[in-house]
Chain A
């Protein structure tokens, strides 16, 4: 597919549409839009122009122009993504929703909220502080990420065990299609089987099917009580085998069940100078329960704690106040930080396997790390079988060696994942980073279905092209 450059004439037209000050062409300014949280030296690509429109109508007009002129358009949010979804692979126009950060309505009667895509997730919950409500579908990057990006990636995060992922809380969307139509999908309706559920198709489509310009989200009563448990186990097997029992035998759905393997725990604890007896621990589970009633949350945490001990946990620590909760969570939160000290060059993966198969994955990780002489810490959302296995560059390797190793090691990691009934990404998305591995996971037929959908939305393939899969023309 051949795209046309953004000429002076087109720039003039764009200025007409979105206004002089919302058209950025200055190298220094638009550089920031060339990358997200993926390693820039590997994935970054400069846009030709960055637009910061204020309305759906403006974006619609831009899309019409882009279709006419065959110029690629890449939607952009806070660029905290981990798969390169917001990178303008083919240059062209970047549409940043940063100016569209209005909260249009808080509807307490329906427990819903209508927002523009540029709203930072954290501010949503800060806004709801008094009301005793909260928005449950947010990822770890909550401080920075936009609602728009959350929807595009169908973000998950640490609370998904109990609250599920972002998609569950998206009731309605206003979408500007790649061809420049403005459509209203869903609405403040809890039930709706009137035709295909296109809004759920948009959720997680990584900005390839249109640009969300408005969203209606569902709110939940905010839990006021939180108790965290840190359980030390002798090995991964024992730790993971406990996870399903929490729900089956314990009959409790925790907010979070985070898993940390020996290497993650050791590196993080060393980094933090944490004096927990982690040396004896082959793995840790960080389990948190939340709720409204203190005694209920306490007894839930006791049941789960007992369950861990019955399943040979070496020790179970209880954190029911800010100080102790912070302390156990910081072990989990600082893993990535700790390995950055080992090497800033990493490949943060997002594989997901059936929960029970997590231990089966560990021997493969060992093999791969031995074979390529790199560290592969493995941690993440055990409750969801979603693991952030991370390939960490060996400081002794040259960058060339590293890129080669990363390439080969990833293939082996993904093969192992696939053979265990898993797949590429649980919450970070495919974007450009994982595109080339799609064939490993999906049948041609399934991929063609996706291409068909893409074509129906975006006949000229100008909407964030080159993401998830390539079109065959």
Chain B
């Protein structure tokens, strides 16, 4: 049977649909229009209401496949994979997009093997090849120093994970209408092996830096952990998140969830402050797609100034407090 339709894999936690789900729809909409096919948002979870599903339709989905089941409340790779694999066999979508998140980057490769599909990780651009209709998937590799464009000409579905924040969530159109299809869970698809024993929320100011619009990151130049206080203050003025370079995390001044870079997280905020960060390839890989980059460093030759939109060369222990002072005035 002919493969048809563009699917986006929505993400929900505790009955709430996550922002990335709407980002995926703005990606998916473009592709679906080019192919003149329908755009489906598949959401798996527990207690997701039709009202919430409507939001997906207003954001561009033609159809929402909604599967609610207590057993699907938590993301368990094996269960989600079995369910999605089963739906793929039934509906044969041509394209499946998921977010490059801890869920998407886990379940998609698991499914791709089972369905013998091509999968491209952490894409930043997606398009449709004119004559063939193949999905063109562009992603940074080798620390973002090359942009590779990839396609899967002979395999369906074509699967990709998309870098969070690499596009804006779709504009809501209240007038849009679409169909909500409630799917029943076939419990034989549940894989009982893995048990979730609990969940520990990040302590303190540890907001997920990949969701943040503004990130203030500190590096080796911070000299010690206590000095991150001024970074937290700076981030505070923007309701932003705190980030760090590998050097700072290696020195245990701040914990790993904050690490930006090749061996940490990749972020794409509107505004990124690199403070006391020299800008090794390792770090640039994780943040150079940020919209605006501000660098503060005492070394004028630091590579960070090559990628920054605005830089100040000097002692960060003078500059950052002054910046905080002037920002405090602004917010007043």
Contact = CB atoms under 8 A, between A and B. Distances in A.
Q: Do chains A and B touch in the complex (CB under 8 A)?
A: yes
Interface of A: 271-273, 340-341
B250 A341 contact: no
B251 A341 contact: no
B252 interface: yes
9 contacts: A271-B251, A272-B250, A272-B251, A273-B250, A273-B251, A273-B252, A340-B223, A341-B223, A341-B224
A340 B224 CA distance: 11
Interface string B217-234: 000000110000000000
B2 to A, nearest CB: 50
A273 B253 CA distance: 9
Interface residues of B, number: 5
A273 B251 CA distance: 5
Contacts of A272: 250-251
Interface string B302-327: 00000000000000000000000000
Interface majority SS on B: helix, strand, loop or mixed?
loop
Contacts of A340: 223
Ranked nearest first, the 8 interchain pairs of A and B with the lowest CB-CB distance are A273-B252, A273-B251, A341-B224, A341-B223, A272-B251, A273-B250, A271-B251, A272-B250
A81 B67 CA distance: 71
Contacts of B251: 271-273
Contacts of A273: 250-252
A340 B220 CA distance: 13
Given A271-B251, A340-B223, A341-B223, 6 more contacts: A272-B250, A272-B251, A273-B250, A273-B251, A273-B252, A341-B224
A364 B251 CA distance: 32
A133 to B, nearest CB: 25
Contacts of B250: 272-273
Nearest to A144: B301
B232 to A, nearest CB: 20
Nearest to B223: A341
A272 B252 CA distance: 8
A341 B223 CA distance: 7
Contacts of B252: 273
A273 to B, nearest CB: 4
A272 B251 CA distance: 5
A376 to B, nearest CB: 22
B318 to A, nearest CB: 14
B284 to A, nearest CB: 18
Nearest to B247: A272
A273 B250 CA distance: 6
Contacts of B223: 340-341
A341 to B, nearest CB: 6
Contacts of A271: 251
A72 B223 CA distance: 40
Contacts of B224: 341
Nearest to A340: B223
Nearest to B301: A143
Nearest to B224: A341
A340 B251 CA distance: 15
A271 B252 CA distance: 9
A271 B251 CA distance: 6
B299 to A, nearest CB: 10
B248 to A, nearest CB: 10
Nearest to B250: A273
A441 to B, nearest CB: 36
A341 B222 CA distance: 10
B329 to A, nearest CB: 28
A284 to B, nearest CB: 19
B129 to A, nearest CB: 40
Nearest to B220: A337
A88 to B, nearest CB: 25
Interface string B251-289: 110000000000000000000000000000000000000
A273 B223 CA distance: 13
A272 B249 CA distance: 10
B135 to A, nearest CB: 37
A330 to B, nearest CB: 10
A272 B223 CA distance: 11
A341 B224 CA distance: 7
A271 B220 CA distance: 11
A275 B224 CA distance: 18
A271 B223 CA distance: 9
A341 B221 CA distance: 11
A6 B251 CA distance: 51
A165 B224 CA distance: 35
A273 B224 CA distance: 11
Nearest to B299: A143
A319 B251 CA distance: 20
B268 to A, nearest CB: 28
Nearest to A327: B250
Nearest to B227: A341
Nearest to B253: A273
Interface in B83-128: none
A115 B224 CA distance: 41
A123 to B, nearest CB: 12
B195 to A, nearest CB: 32
A120 to B, nearest CB: 11
B311 to A, nearest CB: 20
A159 B231 CA distance: 39
A175 B250 CA distance: 48
A271 B224 CA distance: 8
A280 B273 CA distance: 40
B112 to A, nearest CB: 31
A267 B251 CA distance: 12
B328 to A, nearest CB: 28
B179 to A, nearest CB: 54
A40 to B, nearest CB: 14
Nearest to A344: B223
B82 to A, nearest CB: 40
B297 to A, nearest CB: 15
B55 to A, nearest CB: 45
A323 to B, nearest CB: 11
B113 to A, nearest CB: 31
Nearest to A143: B301
A264 to B, nearest CB: 17
B235 to A, nearest CB: 23
A225 B252 CA distance: 32
B317 to A, nearest CB: 11
A327 to B, nearest CB: 10
A336 to B, nearest CB: 13
Contacts of A341: 223-224
A206 to B, nearest CB: 28
B293 to A, nearest CB: 24
Nearest to B252: A273
Nearest to A273: B252
B313 to A, nearest CB: 14
A268 to B, nearest CB: 11
A276 to B, nearest CB: 13
A273 B255 CA distance: 12
B170 to A, nearest CB: 43
A425 to B, nearest CB: 28
A20 B250 CA distance: 51
